[in-house]
Amino acid sequence: MKDGIAIGQKATVTTTVTSEMFAQFEGNVVHPAYSTVSMVYHMEWASRKLILPYLEEEEEGIGGGVEMKHLGPACEGQEITITATITSLTSKSVISYVEVRRGLDIIGTGSVVQFILPKKAIEEKLANAKL
């Protein structure tokens, strides 16, 4: 990792809920509202934005875990803001707390763990998984 990454740094994703983000299985909409799957995606994306400026050329981030609570709804056309804040750093991991808001309302909270590994190590893991 490059120098400069620090606890307390924040990254934000802002998006508008679309029908593609609805809670659905196999194309069948369960609820016309922002899905838990979409929330996890956006939590991971906001957290990834934290590490991108600090990755060395030979490094990459890889997901290590997501814990989250989906606390409230967001409907089509509503804007949501996902903010990730670094809470813990080691030489090989970055942990962030993530909050999802619809206006002033908190509709989701959680944490995301990312491991920072050499790209070659990730390639080896993927090659071994194919065996």
Q: Which domain holds residue 68?
A: 10-129
pTM: 0.93
Comparing CA positions, the residue from 84, 78, 73 lying closest to residue 46 is 84
* 42-83 residue pLDDT tens: 999 999 999 999 999 999 999 999 999 999 999 999 999 999
Task: Indicate whether 90 belongs to any domain.
Answer: yes
CATH of the domain at 83: 3.10.129.10
Question: Is residue 112 a contact partner of residue 43, using CB atoms and an 8 Å limit?
Answer: yes
Q: Give, as one character, the DSSP assignment of residue 46.
A: H
The two three-digit tokens of residue 18, written as one number:
């679309």
62 vs 47: CA distance, rounded Å:
11
Domains of the chain: total: 1
